[in-house]
Amino acid sequence: MPSNFLCSITHRMKVTVISSNPATANVVIIPYALVPAECSAQLLGPLRIFGALDSDKAPERSLTTDTKQLRRPRSLQALHLKSLKREAEFGIPSCDLQLRSFSIQPLEFFADFALRAAYYLGLPAYGPVPLPRITERWTVPRSHFIFKKSQENFERVTLRRMIQIKDGNPETVQLWLAYLRKHQYYGVGMKANVWEFSQMGIGRSMEVPENRLEDLNSSWSHIGQTKTMGTADKVEALLNSRRFKEAAGLRQPLASNK
């Protein structure tokens, strides 16, 4: 019964005088956790419960309500949520990043890291797209001589994921790849194919003006493959020279084309 419970508590605990006032002299401090839920305020009488509220309604003693009221930091909440992505306006591919690994855990972790880095850099990223596995097998003998028939098989499976960047600025894409190389996760390899697009009519700006062609001819003349031989008379004199005839094994001079 609750009355017996309170009596046993008062016998066990030491009665302490809070003040010299006779109204509050017989006050016993009881921890709130020791008071059963079915005890009412009228039954308690002059007993003061440590940790209780002034109202008659007692608070719920559960940890679930306390944990729900606590808000985790935004950075910690983002780790448990799906990575955000930006939408591409034109859908023109700028980079295809291929991730390779022998284990699935570091591959999925680094793919999520690359997607989050692309989002905060303002790059529209799509993926990760699972690519076909690369399976390699080898069969080698365990020993030699009479144990040659005892062979052992080895297998290596390479897992791949692809992340595609669309409508990305070339400088931003290079910054994204440099950031991934700096924080590259162990056991994960990367391979990137980057495309750069320019304006229309870029070929006209690459044309060399006529006044610069003469300067280029003087520079190319120092190269042996493009060096001019001179006139036809110089070529004929070179062919009829003694050194050329000895090298070619000729005795008679070559006939002229005249």
Dump pLDDT digits (tens) for 107-141.
999 999 999 999 999 999 998 999 999 999 999 88
Is it true that the peptide bond before 124 is cis, omega within 30 degrees of 0?
Answer: no
Give the pLDDT confidence score for residue 143 in this predicted structure.
Answer: 84
Are 30 and 7 in contact by the 8 Å Cβ rule? The answer is no
Rounded to whole angstroms, the Cα distance separating 139 from 149 reads: 11
Which H or E run contains 247? helix 242-248
Are 188 and 106 in contact by the 8 Å Cβ rule? The answer is yes
- pTM assigned to the model: 0.51
Q: Domains for the chain: give ranges and CATH numbers.
A: 2-50 (no CATH), 84-194 (3.30.70.600), 227-258 (no CATH)
Are 124 and 86 in contact by the 8 Å Cβ rule? The answer is yes
Give the residue among 100, 98, 108, 199 at the shortest CA–CA distance from 157: 100
Give the pLDDT confidence score for residue 227 in this predicted structure.
Answer: 54
Tokens found for residue 48: 């003061």
Give the residue among 169, 92, 158, 102 at the shortest CA–CA distance from 131: 158
Phi-psi region of 230 (alpha: psi -120 to 50; beta: other; left: phi over 0): left
Dump pLDDT digits (tens) for 194-226.
998 777 777 777 776 666 766 766 666 666 555
**DSSP one-letter code for 223:** S
- Tell me how far apart the terminal alpha carbons of the chain are, to the nearest angstrom: 139
Rounded to whole angstroms, the Cα distance separating 218 from 211 reads: 12
Regions of the chain short of the pLDDT cut 50: 1, 3, 5-20, 22-30, 32-34, 40-43, 46-56, 258
Give the pLDDT confidence score for residue 166 in this predicted structure.
Answer: 94
Rounded to whole angstroms, the Cα distance separating 31 from 109 reads: 49
Rounded to whole angstroms, the Cα distance separating 204 from 216 reads: 18
Tokens found for residue 15: 């009665």
Measured N-to-C along each axis, helices 170-182 and 104-120 cross at an angle, to the nearest 10 degrees, of: 140
Give the pLDDT confidence score for residue 254 in this predicted structure.
Answer: 52
Rounded to whole angstroms, the Cα distance separating 34 from 56 reads: 17
